[in-house]
Amino acid sequence: MSLALIVALPFLGAVLPGLAIRAGRTAAAAATGAVTLLAFLLLLSHAPAVLRGEVVQTRIDWLPALGLNATFFLDGLAFLFAGLILGIGLLVILYARFYLAKSDPMGQFYSYLLLFQGAMAGIVLSDNILLLLIFWELTSLSSFLLIGYWKHLPEARQGARMALAVTGGGGLAMIAGMLILGNITGSYDLTVILQNKQAIQASPWYLPALILILLGAFTKSAQFPFHFWLPHAMAAPTPVSAYLHSATMVKAGLFLMARLWPVLAGTPEWFWIVSTAGLVSLVMAAAIAFFKDDLKALLAYSTVSQLGLITMLLGFGTKAAATVAIFHIINHAVFKAALFMTAGIVDHAAHTRDLRRLGGLRNLMPVTFGIALLASLSIAGIPPLNGFYSKEMMLAEAAETVWITPWAMGVLATLGALFSVAYSVRFLAHGFLGPVREDYPHQPHDPGPGLWSAPAFLAVLIVVIGLFPMATAAWLVNVAAGATTGQPVAVGIYLWPGLKSAALWMSLAAVGGGLMSLGAYPRLRARWDAAPRPDAKRLFDGIVEPAAALARSVTEGLHNGSFGRALTLAVLAIAGAALWAFSGAEHLAGTRAGLTATPAPIALWAVMLLAALATPVLHRRRLTALILTGVVGLLIAPLFMLFSAPDLALTQVSVEVVTILLMLLALHFLPKETPAETPLPRRLRDAGVAGIAGLGIGALAYAMMTRAPAFAPISQYHLAQSKPGAGGTNAVNTIIVDFRGYDTFGEIIVLGIAALVIFALSETLLRSPSVVARLASTPRKRESGDRHPMMLVVSTRLLLPMAMMVGVYIYLRGHNLPGGGFVAGLVFAIAYLMQYMASGYAWTHARQRFDHHVLIGWGVLIAALSGVGAWFLGLPFLTSGYAYVTLWPLEEFELTTAAIFDLGVFLSVLGAVLLTLASLSRLALRQGERANTRAYDSEGDR
Amino acid sequence: MEALLASAIGLLTAVGIYLMLRQRTFPVILGLTFLSYAVNLFLFASGRLAVNAAPIIGLTKPYADPLPQALVLTAIVISFGMTAVIMIMAIGGYLSAGHDRIDLDRGADE
Give the best-scoring range by mean pLDDT among A155-159, A210-214, A235-239, A731-735.
A210-214
Q: How many residues does chain A have?
A: 942
List chain B residues with CB under 8 Å of A764. 92
pLDDT for A66 equals 75
pLDDT confidence tier of residue A174, bands split at 50, 70 and 90 = very high
Both A322 and A435 in one domain: the answer is yes
Both A311 and A400 in one domain: the answer is yes
Q: What is the per-residue pLDDT across A451-510, written as a single tens digit (0 to 9) for each?
A: 999 999 999 999 999 888 888 888 899 999 998 988 888 888 877 767 677 788 888 888
DSSP per position, A556-571: HHH-SS-HHHHHHHHH
Segment A891-906 shows an average pLDDT of 82
Min CA distance, A85 vs chain B (Å)?
46
Give me the residue from B14, B51, B67 closest to A690, CB to CB: B14
Min CA distance, A772 vs chain B (Å)?
8
Q: What is the per-residue pLDDT across B12-35, written as a single tens digit (0 to 9) for each?
A: 999 999 999 998 999 999 999 999
Q: What is the per-residue pLDDT across A803-822, written as a single tens digit (0 to 9) for each?
A: 999 999 999 888 888 888 99
pLDDT for A937 equals 63
Strands A68-74 and A892-896: unpaired
Strands A892-896 and A882-886: antiparallel
Both A320 and A447 in one domain: the answer is yes
List chain A residues with CB under 8 Å of B72. 645, 648
Both A369 and A513 in one domain: the answer is yes
Q: Which residue has the higher pLDDT, A35 or A921?
A: A35
pLDDT for B71 equals 92
pLDDT for B106 equals 56
Count of Cβ atoms closer than 10 Å to residue A835 Cβ: 20
Give me the residue from B48, B56, B64 closest to A817, CB to CB: B56
DSSP per position, A851-876: -HHHHHHHHHHHHHHHHHHHHHTT--
Q: What is the per-residue pLDDT across A515-555, written as a single tens digit (0 to 9) for each?
A: 888 888 888 888 888 888 777 778 888 888 899 999 999 88
Give me the residue from B30, B73, B106 closest to A619, CB to CB: B30
Which residues neighbour A812 within 8 Å (Cβ) at sequence distance 6 or greater?
A819
Find the closest chain B residue to A919 by CA distance.
Answer: B88
Q: What is the per-residue pLDDT across A829-849, written as a single tens digit (0 to 9) for each?
A: 999 988 888 888 888 888 888
Both A810 and A663 in one domain: the answer is no
Give me the residue from B9, B70, B94 closest to A732, CB to CB: B70
**A627 has pLDDT over 90:** yes
Find the closest chain A residue to B17 by CA distance.
Answer: A690
Both A635 and A757 in one domain: the answer is no
pLDDT for B110 equals 39
pLDDT for B108 equals 43
pLDDT for B109 equals 41
Q: Which residue has the higher pLDDT, A802 or A441?
A: A802
Indicate the average pLDDT of chain A: 88
pLDDT confidence tier of residue B98, bands split at 50, 70 and 90 = confident
Both A309 and A423 in one domain: the answer is yes
Q: What angle do CA A692, A696, A701 make, to 5 degrees?
A: 150
Min CA distance, B95 vs chain A (Å)?
5
Find the closest chain B residue to A672 by CA distance.
Answer: B26
**A688 has pLDDT over 60:** yes
**How far, in Å, CA of A473 to CA of A329, rounded?**
11
Contact at CB, B37 and A743, closer than 8 angstroms:
no
The domain ranges of chain B are 2-97
Beta partners for A896?
A882
pLDDT for B107 equals 45
List chain A residues with CB under 8 Å of B15. 612-613, 615-616, 690, 694
**A558 has pLDDT over 70:** yes
List chain A residues with CB under 8 Å of B73. 647-648, 651, 732, 736, 822
Assigned domain for A583 exists: no
Both A615 and A473 in one domain: the answer is no
Both A768 and A636 in one domain: the answer is no
**How far, in Å, CA of A24 to CA of A155, rounded?**
29
List chain B residues with CB under 8 Å of A597. 1, 3-4
Give me the residue from A701, A722, A771 closest to B5, CB to CB: A701
Give me the residue from A609, A678, A912 closest to B81, CB to CB: A912
Give me the residue from A562, A666, A822 closest to B108, CB to CB: A562
Q: What angle do CA A714, A718, A723 make, to 5 degrees?
A: 165
Segment B24-51 shows an average pLDDT of 93
Assigned domain for A304 exists: yes
Which of A612, A641, A675 is the C-terminal boundary of a domain? A675
Q: What angle do CA A473, A476, A478 make, to 5 degrees?
A: 105
Provide the residue range defining the domain that includes A431: 279-535
**How far, in Å, CA of A763 to CA of A915, rounded?**
12
Beta partners for A63?
A68
Q: A907: helix, coil or strand?
A: helix
Both A654 and A773 in one domain: the answer is no
pLDDT confidence tier of residue A931, bands split at 50, 70 and 90 = low
Contact at CB, B74 and A822, closer than 8 angstroms:
yes
Assigned domain for A246 exists: no
> How many angstroms separate the first and last alpha carbons of chain A?
71
**How far, in Å, CA of A688 to CA of A572, rounded?**
10
Assigned domain for A754 exists: yes
pLDDT confidence tier of residue B105, bands split at 50, 70 and 90 = low
Q: At what angle do helices A852-872 and A897-926 cross, to 10 degrees?
A: 160
> How many angstroms separate the first and last alpha carbons of chain B?
42
List chain B residues with CB under 8 Å of A817. 56
Structure letter (DSSP) for residue A203: S
Assigned domain for A441 exists: yes
Cα dihedral value A619, A623, A629, A632, nearest 10: -110
Both A865 and A777 in one domain: the answer is yes
Segment B49-61 shows an average pLDDT of 84
Percent of chain A with pLDDT over 90: 49
Q: What is the per-residue pLDDT across A253-297, written as a single tens digit (0 to 9) for each?
A: 999 999 999 999 989 999 999 999 999 999 999 999 999 999 999
Which of A675, A706, A738 is the C-terminal boundary of a domain? A675
Calculate the alpha carbon distances from A875 to A506, A721, A869, A881 in Å.
71, 18, 9, 10
Find the closest chain B residue to A753 by CA distance.
Answer: B81
Find the closest chain A residue to B21 by CA distance.
Answer: A564
In A27-122, which ranges are E strands?
56-63, 68-74
Q: Select the residue from B91, B94, B101, B102 to test the A interface by mutation, using most A Cβ atoms within 10 A.
A: B91
Assigned domain for A550 exists: no
Q: What is the per-residue pLDDT across A369-401, written as a single tens digit (0 to 9) for each?
A: 999 999 999 998 888 889 888 888 898 888 888
Q: What is the per-residue pLDDT across A641-685, written as a single tens digit (0 to 9) for each?
A: 999 999 999 999 999 999 999 998 888 888 888 888 888 999 999
Q: How many residues does chain B have?
A: 110
**How far, in Å, CA of A420 to CA of A377, rounded?**
10
Beta partners for A57?
A73
Find the closest chain B residue to A691 by CA distance.
Answer: B14
pLDDT for A941 equals 47
Both A510 and A635 in one domain: the answer is no
Give me the residue from B54, B65, B78 closest to A715, CB to CB: B65
Sign of the alpha-carbon dihedral angle for A788, A789, A793, A796: negative
Could you give the number of structural domains in chain A? Answer: 3
Q: Select the residue from A618, A682, A705 to test the B interface by mutation, using most B Cβ atoms within 10 A.
A: A705
Beta partners for A74?
A56
Find the closest chain A residue to B38 by CA distance.
Answer: A697
Cis peptide before A488 (omega within 30 of 0): no
Which residues neighbour A616 within 8 Å (Cβ) at sequence distance 6 or greater?
A687, B15, B18, B19
Assigned domain for A249 exists: no
CB burial class (10 A; 0-12, 13-18, 19+) of residue B17? buried
pLDDT for A645 equals 92
pLDDT for A775 equals 80
Segment B26-53 shows an average pLDDT of 93
Contact at CB, B110 and A818, closer than 8 angstroms:
no
List chain A residues with CB under 8 Å of B92. 761-762, 764-765, 771
> Taking a C-beta distance cutoff of 8 angstroms, is the pair A287, A317 a contact?
no
**A144 has pLDDT over 50:** yes
Which residues neighbour A737 within 8 Å (Cβ) at sequence distance 6 or greater?
A726, A744, A815, A820, A821, A880, A898, A899, A901, A902, A905
> Taking a C-beta distance cutoff of 8 angstroms, is the pair A383, A466 a contact?
yes
Q: Interface pTM (ipTM) of the complex?
A: 0.94
DSSP per position, A604-667: HHHHHHHHHHHHHHHTTBHHHHHHHHHHHHHHHHHHHHHTT-HHHHHHHHHHHHHHHHHHHHHH
Q: What is the largest CA-CA distance in chain B?
A: 62
Q: What is the per-residue pLDDT across A71-126, written as a single tens digit (0 to 9) for each?
A: 899 999 999 999 999 999 999 999 999 999 888 888 999 999 999 999 999 999 99
Min CA distance, A864 vs chain B (Å)?
18
Assigned domain for A391 exists: yes
Which of A646, A675, A704 is the C-terminal boundary of a domain? A675
